[in-house]
Structure 1
């Protein structure tokens, strides 16, 4: 019986690389990952054999307290990546549109079958580019992927990665990729456009070219089985050569009505008492909001219901909390009269004079005077 199947060739090669380069921690990290994957495949005996071999010469692994120092920027002395270990029981608030979900499933399938497909000559490097406006869930998606593949998420910090020292940004990039190659992880290049801008789109062309070239070289040098995710709010700024390095792409957009219905249901059902027609009103009122903004508004509504002590939530209260998340002009909340006028103008059928009087605990005459004109 074969101890290791073709599906785990990537881990075997990385263990071998760690041994040949005298990097015992890299070998141990990938051996532990191999044992986890074997166990997940139902090969408990083989997983036990790997762990028994490891136990004979213990070396602290990536997930333990003995983690080697994270790469730092020489100018600021700040760490250029953050490490997060997504847990299996983490609250999963990721709600994707059908197409994005399909693309995510394809990416995860490609990761799971990479070695087998590579042997057939049809594998695509495990590189994913996530594009979308702020608040559409790019970071949540990266965390979900790391959780699905049971690996730590190593997220780059643009504020530290992009250095003030000439040439240091390229060195920072190299050290981040060296770290990702030495440790089993998902490398998440957040705010990717800060590194991968079109080389003709800056007055500092020379330095920008060096950064983009360093990025491309490090992407190409990283084993294709290593998982790299990049995210950007500005895909139009990315260098054309960068696009070619990412065979998998997911575009996250502001949710449509059906997506907003799923989001409101996901965040509120079982937590507050709202009628089906109230959910319909929330869907219409939240047009143009990002998933993150909808989640923030929903959390505010739940807190409001809990503070009331009744566990219920009326539509006027819900829409008032939604308005506080939706509107950028906070001047309307300077005093009750201005807020009443704004709410009445926004949703006159919901915010009637009587409803506003109950909501603000004032008389109907006070509401009429406040909203007049």
Structure 2
């Protein structure tokens, strides 16, 4: 048992040596869970019986004194706002679609976490730290939630920009409180917007305080036991200090979804609301270059429209319409009127958005669509006949 669950044993010992009943109890509970999962129910029951006899009042008092109870989350000393968000993602609630090579890297990280003690015994362990980098909307936060769900642990999410204070030294103190809070219980610590703290030192805008923040961050990471799970995410990996990169054994780029991933995303997010015969391949082709978050939002909006209209399935043209308008928004095309939207959609995909289809989508006559698009075939019949032929 000691070799298989050395990390938990050491954490319990740390709690005892620090006279920290909360830390010892939390990791003893995790040890009991792991023993039960491994079939050692009697040993797990014995640990839980001891925990049941522990003076709960003492644990609560110690947590309150340290400022780390679940009811007393770390706060910024200046704004008094919480700096940590606590959640417990469940596997059935968190879906993930990744390119195959990145998925394999993430699975390697999870295996490293799950078998950390065995790797330590073989002198082959790496710190349980993973850095995600990529454009906004590529799934970094979702990946953090998925990792926590797979490990069955709480997710402590820290928006690093909330740690930054205008008061001298306050940012470093905020940072230390977060790490102290995370050390008290089994969890996944997720530092979002990581570049807000980990920016490279020595640039022209740098000041002494920012250098001290980076140093404090490095010190706090180094003080974490290798078995502690630390995730970080940034949209600006080029801004990270080189010393920060070296602290993360696992680094995962989060690219824009390729065609295989886009198809899986469209199918997953539309789910049972996808009509039979939906042109998924057309969606895949036309959504090249967009993020998974954009695809998810389009699907949510389309399903919401179907539900409000009392329809059991989404309308295929409505999905494509929302995709086209989203692309216009991304390209900063000003579309302030419904007429402007119809003109844009007609130019974006003339074959898909016939005069008749646009008239149906917007509840206007085909003559109106013809007039605003300045096209012939006043009733749209000629074009529709050509399309059907």
Q: How does 1:102-113 map to 2 (within 5 A)?
A: 102-113=104-115
Shift of 1:288: 1.1
Shift of 1:17: 1.0
Shift of 1:59: 2.6
Where does residue 34 of structure 1 map in the other structure?
31
Q: Please state if 1:70 is matched with 2:73.
A: yes
2:4 counterpart SS class = helix
Q: Which runs of 4+ in 1 moved over 3 A?
A: 60-63
Kindly provide the CA deviation profile for residues 298-347 of structure 1, in whole angstroms up to 9, marking residues without a partner as x.
11111222233232334322111223333324731x32211110000001
Q: 1:202 to 1:144 in 2, by over 3 A?
A: farther
Q: Which moved more, 1:224-233 or 1:149-158?
A: 149-158
Shift of 1:159: 3.7
Q: Please state if 1:45 is matched with 2:32.
A: no
Where does residue 366 of structure 2 map in the other structure?
364
Q: Please state if 1:79 is matched with 2:82.
A: yes
Shift of 1:37: 1.3
Q: Which moved more, 1:137-146 or 1:174-183?
A: 174-183
Matches of 2:294 and 2:56, distance apart in 1: 45
Matches of 1:193 and 1:103, distance apart in 2: 22
Where does residue 56 of structure 1 map in the other structure?
53
2:251 counterpart SS class = strand
Matches of 1:162 and 1:168, distance apart in 2: 8
2:272 counterpart SS class = coil
Q: 1:68 to 1:335 in 2, by over 3 A?
A: closer
1:7 counterpart SS class = coil
Shift of 1:372: 1.2
Q: How does 1:1-373 map to 2 (within 5 A)?
A: 4-59=1-56, 67=70, 69-89=72-92, 91-276=93-278, 278-328=279-329, 329=332, 331-332=334-335, 334-372=336-374
1:216 counterpart SS class = helix
Number of aligned residues: 366
CA contact (8 A) 1:274 1:312 kept: no
Matches of 1:310 and 1:280, distance apart in 2: 23
CA contact (8 A) 1:80 1:157 kept: yes
CA contact (8 A) 1:80 1:161 kept: yes
CA contact (8 A) 2:26 2:185 kept: yes
TM-score by length of 1: 0.93
RMSD of aligned alpha carbons: 1.9
Shift of 1:183: 2.0
Shift of 1:201: 2.2
Matches of 2:328 and 2:95, distance apart in 1: 23
CA contact (8 A) 1:202 1:208 kept: no
Q: Which moved more, 1:51-60 or 1:345-354?
A: 51-60
2:90 counterpart SS class = coil
CA contact (8 A) 1:272 1:311 kept: no
Q: 1:186 to 1:249 in 2, by over 3 A?
A: same
Shift of 1:6: 1.4
Matches of 1:202 and 1:28, distance apart in 2: 48
1:309 counterpart SS class = coil
Shift of 1:238: 0.5
Shift of 1:202: 4.3
Shift of 1:179: 1.4
Matches of 2:313 and 2:141, distance apart in 1: 32
1:187 counterpart SS class = strand
CA contact (8 A) 1:274 1:314 kept: no
Matches of 1:92 and 1:36, distance apart in 2: 22
CA contact (8 A) 2:153 2:188 kept: yes
1:327 counterpart SS class = helix
Gaps of 5+ in 1: none
1:228 counterpart SS class = strand
Gaps of 5+ in 2: 376-389
Shift of 1:93: 2.8
